[in-house]
Amino acid sequence: MPAVVDHEARRRAVAEVTADLVAKAGIEAVTVREVAQAAGYSTAIVSHYFASKVELLFYTYRATVLRAHQRMEGALEAGGGPIRPYLAALLPLNAEQRRDWLVWFAFWTMAIADHTLSAEQQVRSRQITARVTSLLMERGLAEDAAKEGARRLLVTIYGMASQAFFDPERWPAETQLSVLDADLKMIGVA
């Protein structure tokens, strides 16, 4: 009897390995051969699941977005109402979240020259902005104030994430959370 293989689980496992490689060496260093070797598969198996390096990277990007979404929603539920845990789960405060940001930065670089990837990033950006706007409205802000607050919070988070990588001594987790808290207070939802 042939072994039953969970193909989606294999794709996710390959994406996890790919995310690790992107975080360690950058997107340019990732090859199907490197991914296969790190995952313990042959290049034929990796190529069976992903037709190209771009497809593999695109899937990896989406997997990190999904993982972050689940982490953020879980933090919101566990936090019992405040928006801070949701937004803090997006910041690069620990190894997992930093790795996600490294994948996103690499993807954004690719998206500059690729219209399909650029469109994907635009969709993701609009989704997170809509979600944060909705959460702010649930916490009592009027729609216009919530939209502006969401933009402000996300720009702050994206900026802090980039600074945390280039100057980590000045942007430890405590500093990132302090800035987030100040923005939440300024918006009126602290």
Residue-range definition of the domain harbouring residue 79: 7-187
Is 1 inside any structural domain? no
Tokens 């296969």 belong to 36
Cα gap 155→132, rounded to integer Å: 12
Residue 115: its pLDDT value, please?
92
Model pTM score? 0.89
Is 2 inside any structural domain? no
Burial 83-121 (b: 16+ CB within 10 A, else e): bbbbbbbbbbbeeebbbbbbbbbbbeebbeeeeebeebb
pLDDT per residue over 165-181, tens digit each? 899 999 999 999 999 99
Tokens 């689980």 belong to 9
pLDDT per residue over 53-94, tens digit each? 989 999 999 999 999 999 999 999 997 778 999 999 999 999
Is 76 inside any structural domain? yes
Residue 7: its pLDDT value, please?
84
Is 115 inside any structural domain? yes
- Name the amino acid, one letter, at 62: R
Is 127 inside any structural domain? yes
CATH number of the domain that residue 59 is part of: 1.10.357.10
Domain count for the chain, please give it.
1
